[in-house]
Amino acid sequence: MSNQLSYRILEDIARDLSGEVVSFPTFLDITFQVRTALKNPRLTVDELGQLVAAEPLMSTKVIRLANSAAINRSGRAIVDIRSAIGRVGMEAVRTVSFAVAMEQLLNSKKMAAFQTLSRQLWEHTMHVAALSRVLARRLTRVNVDEALFAGLVHDIGVFYLLSRAVNFPELVANPRDLQQLLVQWHDHIGHALLAAMGMPEELVLVVQEHELDRPVSSISTLADVVFVANRLANVEHGWRDAAFCEVPDGSIAHQFFEPDALATLLAESAEDVASLKAALGS
């Protein structure tokens, strides 16, 4: 990829995400509506329900999440927004708002040129989010809702870069240059975007460091959870094209999992992972 083109794109992004007035991408509008509502300490379930109900896709995802095997341990089905929010919790609505925003971006007409990559990215994102929640619940004391959210947004830098890349015909026509831009910069861009949105520092660092090779002897922190979930997901659900760039090594999991133990964990978690992916995905 030419340094000049890379500089132009990164300069545009830096201009938008720095300064006193930050210019956020429009695909994140729904997330700001939910974020503003959640900042109100007196927010009621009914009020949040009205906001959710105004966005059909978000309503559908919240209800599906409430009825997913991973969350609905009682087996009792829920069909209304208020009860769904009561089961999943208000903070989970934040996660759903991001899932809606990211999915709508990838499905927009302007992203048609990246159809295959978009599908792979969405599948990878859903898998990492689901695995992050499962690993957090089974192996750590990490908050499962935080793990689900961190897994969902770990590659938000890729989404943002793709939303900008459509404006550069040189990138649309050159998948090698596009892949190199995404691989080299998505973690830094994700960090900058979430920091500008005022997200917690722990989450921002998780996003920045989720691709960073490091020894992991045990899974205990949010960073560990997302790092391992990302590596596991990359084995069968990666978005990188091996013809153009290096693919992350998924064998990292064998540092702290015996093969049989890992296979058992994944098999026992398969239903939870599938249900979470179905709830948050299309």
**What is the C-alpha radius of gyration for the chain, rounded to an integer number of angstroms?**
19
Indicate the burial class of 4 (C-beta count within 10 angstroms; 0-12, 13-18, 19 or more).
exposed
Residue 123, pLDDT > 70, answer yes
177 token code pair: 């240059």
Whether 125 and 155 have beta carbons less than 8 Å apart is answered as yes
Residue 20, pLDDT > 90, answer no
Indicate the burial class of 184 (C-beta count within 10 angstroms; 0-12, 13-18, 19 or more).
middle
Q: pLDDT tens, 210-256?
A: 998 887 778 899 999 999 999 999 888 888 887 777 767 667 666 76
What local confidence, expressed as pLDDT, does residue 17 receive? 87
Distance CA 189, CA 157 (A): 5
Please tell me the pTM assigned to this model.
Answer: 0.92
Tell me the mean pLDDT in the region 139-158.
96
Q: pLDDT tens, 170-193?
A: 889 999 999 999 999 999 999 999
Q: How far is CA 250 from CA 108, 231, 232, 277, in A?
A: 31, 5, 6, 20
Distance CA 141, CA 135 (A): 10
Average pLDDT, the chain: 90
What pLDDT band is residue 259 in, cutting at 50, 70 and 90?
confident
Domains of the chain: total? 1
Residue 89, pLDDT > 90, answer yes
Distance CA 162, CA 105 (A): 9
Containing domain of residue 19, as a range?
3-280
What local confidence, expressed as pLDDT, does residue 244 receive? 72
How many angstroms from the chain centroid is the CA of residue 240? 16
Closest Cα to residue 71, out of 271, 226, 264? Answer: 271
Residue with tokens 């989404």: 159
Q: pLDDT tens, 105-118?
A: 999 999 999 999 99
What local confidence, expressed as pLDDT, does residue 101 receive? 96
| CA angle (231, 232, 233) in 5-degree steps | 90
CATH for 155: 1.10.3210.10
Distance CA 15, CA 24 (A): 11
Least confident range from 53-57, 112-116, 144-148, 278-282: namely: 278-282
Distance CA 9, CA 13 (A): 6
Residue 25, pLDDT > 90, answer no
Whether 279 and 133 have beta carbons less than 8 Å apart is answered as no
What local confidence, expressed as pLDDT, does residue 1 receive? 52
Whether 207 and 225 have beta carbons less than 8 Å apart is answered as no
Helices marked H in the chain: 3-17, 29-38, 45-53, 56-66, 81-88, 90-107, 115-139, 144-153, 156-165, 169-172, 175-196, 201-209, 222-236, 259-280
How many angstroms from the chain centroid is the CA of residue 154? 5
Which position has the higher pLDDT, 252 or 58? 58
Distance CA 197, CA 204 (A): 10
Tell me the mean pLDDT in the region 23-52.
93
- At residue 128, what is the residue type? V
At residue 70, φ and ψ (nearest 5 deg) are: -70, -25
